């Protein structure tokens, strides 16, 4: 069983539903996931450019896409809303948590968070690459972190039992989250900045703060986050990332957050990316069907089977048990 802590697949599914398809996950994606042994994931609702003009409309549309897909799959896709529903030994159903990548659609209204929770959402990062009423992303003012209602929203998420995700936050917001949380939190799809100096990656001090909370850092295979050196935007570059994380935070705090973008439309990807549009992921790890290659890499690195199982799914099991 492999658990992927970050995917935007609802976007692709929504596009296909707009073209008249139904039961898209079951018809087009389930077999690819099954062939790669990926049986669980956090699929986020994301107001993707150019659909971010009215974030609430987009997020609500994607939420109804998600709920319709789960319903149409007739049990093949299982919505996880509490830890007792999670079964990491289940390799016939796909277990999905619905997340939110960014909270600009709440427009500062924390009561709306409860509405999303009640509809089944169990995860949120406070921002995508935007600045909103709660928090500041890596592209925002470095001196602005969480606002006072941003602290309140984190507190409310912990009370409800939602996953707090710091990927995309600027450093000040990150440290504000670290200060004001009492439970483990995750950086669902971020790598180590000391190996790849990109704002979306975490400094060694940040990596240690995530692990000190009991949380997880999800390995991201998006090219620009693996290495600034084009020659290392490969599995070899990923090998360095994995070795560094093992050294800094240990196998108990590493997970997957693949962040595959192979299915995004060119105008969406082009709005935030300088990478080749045909292959946003590193060579050998650009889509869910190539997950076997990172598994070979983990074994090739001499990592024990026990530690590999932590990285693939047991760490998420422990984390979700603590939160949901
Ligand atoms: Zn992201």
Judged against a pLDDT cut of 80, whether residue 18 lies above it is answered with yes
> Average pLDDT for residues 207-218, to the nearest whole number?
98
Confidence (pLDDT) at 274: 64
Confidence (pLDDT) at 267: 66
Average pLDDT, the chain: 95
Confidence (pLDDT) at 3: 98
For ligand 1, the distance from its centroid to the CA atom of residue 50, given in whole angstroms, is 16
Residue located via tokens 């039992």: 161
For ligand 1, the distance from its centroid to the CA atom of residue 189, given in whole angstroms, is 7
For ligand 1, the distance from its centroid to the CA atom of residue 129, given in whole angstroms, is 8
Spell out the CATH class of 2-323: alpha beta
Judged against a pLDDT cut of 80, whether residue 196 lies above it is answered with yes
For ligand 1, the distance from its centroid to the CA atom of residue 128, given in whole angstroms, is 6
User: How much of the chain, in percent, has pLDDT values that exceed 90?
Assistant: 92
For ligand 1, the distance from its centroid to the CA atom of residue 290, given in whole angstroms, is 20
Q: Half-sphere exposure of residue 201, counting CA atoms within 13 Å on the CB side?
A: 23
> Average pLDDT for residues 163-183, to the nearest whole number?
98
Beta partners for residue 95, in sequence order? 40, 78
For ligand 1, the distance from its centroid to the CA atom of residue 190, given in whole angstroms, is 9
Confidence (pLDDT) at 50: 86
For ligand 1, the distance from its centroid to the CA atom of residue 168, given in whole angstroms, is 6
Confidence band (pLDDT; 50, 70, 90) for 269? low
- C-beta pairs of 54-57 under 8 Å, 24+ apart in sequence: 55/102, 55/104, 55/105, 56/105, 56/107
Q: What is the DSSP string of 160-212?
A: HT-EEE-TTB-HHHHHHHHHH--S--EETT--BTTTS--TTSB-HHHHHHHHH
For ligand 1, the distance from its centroid to the CA atom of residue 52, given in whole angstroms, is 14
Kindly report, residue by residue over 121-150, the tens digit of the pLDDT: 999 999 999 999 999 999 999 999 999 999
- Taking the C-alpha atoms of residue 213 and residue 311, their distance in angstroms, rounded to an integer, is 17
For ligand 1, the distance from its centroid to the CA atom of residue 8, given in whole angstroms, is 8
For ligand 1, the distance from its centroid to the CA atom of residue 46, given in whole angstroms, is 9
Confidence (pLDDT) at 262: 77
> Average pLDDT for residues 178-193, to the nearest whole number?
98
Spatial CA neighbour of 259 closest among 224, 228, 230: 224
Kindly report, residue by residue over 220-248, the tens digit of the pLDDT: 999 999 999 999 999 999 999 999 999 99
Kindly report the number of other CB atoms within 10 A of residue 321's CB atom. Answer: 12
Confidence (pLDDT) at 100: 98
For ligand 1, the distance from its centroid to the CA atom of residue 139, given in whole angstroms, is 13
Q: How far is CA 257 from CA 145, 159, 212, 238, in A?
A: 24, 25, 19, 13
For ligand 1, the distance from its centroid to the CA atom of residue 107, given in whole angstroms, is 20
Residue with the larger pLDDT of the pair 126 and 271: 126
Confidence (pLDDT) at 279: 78
Kindly report, residue by residue over 97-106, the tens digit of the pLDDT: 999 999 999 9
For ligand 1, the distance from its centroid to the CA atom of residue 57, given in whole angstroms, is 19
Confidence (pLDDT) at 51: 87
Beta partners for residue 40, in sequence order? 3, 95
For ligand 1, the distance from its centroid to the CA atom of residue 10, given in whole angstroms, is 13
For ligand 1, the distance from its centroid to the CA atom of residue 127, given in whole angstroms, is 9
For ligand 1, the distance from its centroid to the CA atom of residue 247, given in whole angstroms, is 25
Kindly report, residue by residue over 21-53, the tens digit of the pLDDT: 999 999 999 999 999 999 999 999 999 888 889
For ligand 1, the distance from its centroid to the CA atom of residue 4, given in whole angstroms, is 13
Judged against a pLDDT cut of 80, whether residue 183 lies above it is answered with yes
Q: Which of 87-91, 240-244, 265-269 has the lowest mean pLDDT?
A: 265-269
Q: Half-sphere exposure of residue 49, counting CA atoms within 13 Å on the CB side?
A: 11
Confidence (pLDDT) at 280: 84
For ligand 1, the distance from its centroid to the CA atom of residue 307, given in whole angstroms, is 26
């Amino acid at each position: 069983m492999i658990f992927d802590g970050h995917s935007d697949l609802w976007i692709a599914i929504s596009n296909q539903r707009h073209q008249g398809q139904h039961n898209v996950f079951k018809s087009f994606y389930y077999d690819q996931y099954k062939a790669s042994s990926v049986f669980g994931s956090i699929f986020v609702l994301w107001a993707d450019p150019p659909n971010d003009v009215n974030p609430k409309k987009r997020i609500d549309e994607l939420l109804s896409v998600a709920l319709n897909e789960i319903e149409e799959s007739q049990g093949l896709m299982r919505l996880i809303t509490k830890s007792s529903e999670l079964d990491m030994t289940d390799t016939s159903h796909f277990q999905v948590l619905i997340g939110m990548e960014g909270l600009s659609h709440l427009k500062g209204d924390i009561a709306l968070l409860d509405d999303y929770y009640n509809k089944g959402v169990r995860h949120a990062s406070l921002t995508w690459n935007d600045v909103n009423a709660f928090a500041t992303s890596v592209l925002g003012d470095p001196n602005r972190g969480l606002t006072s209602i941003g602290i309140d929203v984190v507190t409310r998420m912990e009370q409800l039992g939602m996953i707090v995700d710091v990927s995309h936050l600027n450093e000040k917001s990150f440290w504000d989250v670290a200060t004001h949380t009492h439970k483990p939190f995750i950086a669902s799809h971020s790598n180590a900045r000391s190996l790849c100096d990109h704002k979306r990656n975490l400094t060694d001090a940040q990596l240690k703060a995530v692990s000190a909370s009991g949380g997880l850092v999800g390995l991201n295979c998006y090219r620009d986050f693996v290495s600034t050196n084009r020659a290392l935007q490969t599995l070899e570059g990923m090998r360095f990332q994995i070795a560094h994380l093992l050294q800094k935070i240990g196998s108990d705090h590493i997970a997957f957050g693949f962040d595959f973008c192979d299915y995004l439309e060119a105008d969406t990807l082009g709005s935030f990316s300088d990478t080749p549009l045909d292959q946003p992921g590193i060579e050998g790890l650009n889509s869910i069907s190539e997950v076997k290659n990172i598994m070979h890499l983990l074994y090739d690195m001499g990592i024990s089977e026990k530690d590999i199982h932590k990285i693939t799914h047991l760490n998420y099991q422990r984390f979700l048990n603590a939160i949901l």
